[in-house]
A and B are shown apart, each in its own frame.
Chain A
């Protein structure tokens, strides 16, 4: 038989000699050796140790099956052979840890996506929605009277939508913490009912996280009958924390811009927010 396949048996014999016990053959020495060593300690029998072999999973063993048939040890001296065995075992342990770390890194990179989202929501960085803004906050907020902000309004319509859509006031002066009302007007000059859906935009982007709309007409389909003209109100406020943000010191003008699109069958406008 090839020398590569025989060493397993030799090692079992070797260990058996050392512990003055003989264990049945179970394949490669690496698998059996720790259990025989258990037996060598004298507190447990080799049988118990080997019984454990069937039930106890050693994942590190399963990872490198290529090594199982047994590699030839370099040394022939029994003392250095033990040392080499020890090194091999340690190498395998290190390899296991490194592999586990790599898998852990991969998992962490996948977990980072929802975690970052959560982080952004709690701290409000990057203009994302700040969670925890309840309606009772509106009740208790105090207007910051010395900080006047001009809010201008813009109205846009997608090319395929034939509505006349415009704001009914050019600007409004508000202070943070004060609720304000603004109006847009939309008219359907065609002879067919048209359904539109709108989205909005706030510039500057950083101020957008402080711009809270209590109620408006966006993200829901609005149907206009032929030749119909309606008023579309927007009820909003600017968060009082706006006045305390150092990045907003130079912001005196906020532009609210609405754009209407035609709502087609089966076409879904992406509704914002992570809920």
Chain B
């Protein structure tokens, strides 16, 4: 929050997150997916667009382990990635 006391200056208003807070992953259950995502980011020069598949997998891991409220991926902005999912799931 801005601490500047000048009247009329723009200040920042923090907003609560839309879907609340992530429960902490105390046991590191999704750490593998996180490592994959971070590795992809480093390799692609920190470009988010190329690593969206990994971020989707991380969120799916969280949803499976009850670390995140289950929601259709379209609602999380992965609509373009879910079309290809039903046809070909890459095994790893």
How far apart are the CA atoms of A200 and B16 in the complex, in Å? Answer: 10
Contact of A179 among B12, B15, B41, B76 (CB under 8 A): B76
How many residues on the A side are at the interface (Cβ–Cβ under 8 A)? 56
- Which 5 A-B pairs rank lowest in CB-CB distance, beginning with the nearest? A179-B77, A181-B55, A220-B21, A213-B17, A272-B14
Q: Is the CB of A271 within 8 A of B48?
A: no
Q: Is the CB of B75 within 8 A of A216?
A: no
Which residues in A have their C-beta under 8 angstroms from that of B88?
none
Pair A215/B68 contact, Cβ less than 8 Å: yes
Q: Is B66 part of the contact surface with A, judged by Cβ < 8 Å?
A: no
A103: Cβ under 8 A from any B Cβ: no
- Which A residues have a C-beta under 8 Å from some C-beta of B? 126-129, 133, 135-136, 138-139, 141, 143, 168-175, 178-181, 183, 199-203, 205-206, 208-209, 212-220, 222-225, 228, 230-233, 235, 237, 271-273
- Whole-angstrom CA separation of A213 from B19 in the bound complex: 8
Nearest B-chain residue to A135, judged by Cβ: B75
Partner of A169, one of B20, B41, B76: B41
| Nearest residue, chain B, Cβ from A215 | B19
Judged by DSSP, the binding face of B is: loop
Partner of A127, one of B11, B16, B58, B68: B11
Query: Given A178-B48, A231-B31, does the pair A271, B55 have CB atoms closer than 8 Å?
Result: no
Measured between beta carbons, the chain A residues less than 8 angstroms from B47 are: 172-173
Given contacts A129-B13, A178-B49, could you give 11 more A-B pairs where the C-beta distance is less than 8 Å? A126-B13, A135-B19, A136-B75, A139-B75, A179-B77, A200-B14, A205-B2, A208-B12, A213-B17, A222-B21, A272-B16
User: Which positions in B face A, CB cutoff 8 Å?
Assistant: 1-2, 10-22, 24-26, 28, 30-31, 34, 37-38, 41-42, 45-49, 52, 55, 58-59, 68, 74-79
The answer for the CA separation of A97 and B67 in the assembled complex, in Å, is 64
Whether B17 contacts A168 by the Cβ 8 Å rule is no
A contact residues around B48 at 8 Å (CB): 172-175, 178, 180-181
Cα-based distance from A203 to B14 in the complex (angstroms): 11
Residues of A within 8 A of B20 (CB): 215, 220
- A222 and B13 contact, CB distance less than 8 A: no
* Contact across chains for A233 and B22 when beta carbons are under 8 A apart: yes
Across the interface, do A138 and B76 meet the contact criterion of CB distance under 8 Å?
Answer: yes
Known interface pairs A127-B10, A173-B46, A271-B16. Does A215 touch B77 (Cβ–Cβ under 8 Å)?
Answer: no
A138 lies within 8 A of B59 (CB):
no
Which residue, B10, B16, B18, B78, has most C-beta atoms of chain A within 10 A? B18
Shortest A85–chain B CB gap in Å is 51
Contact of B12 among A127, A133, A271 (CB under 8 A): A127
| Min CB gap A112→B, angstroms | 16
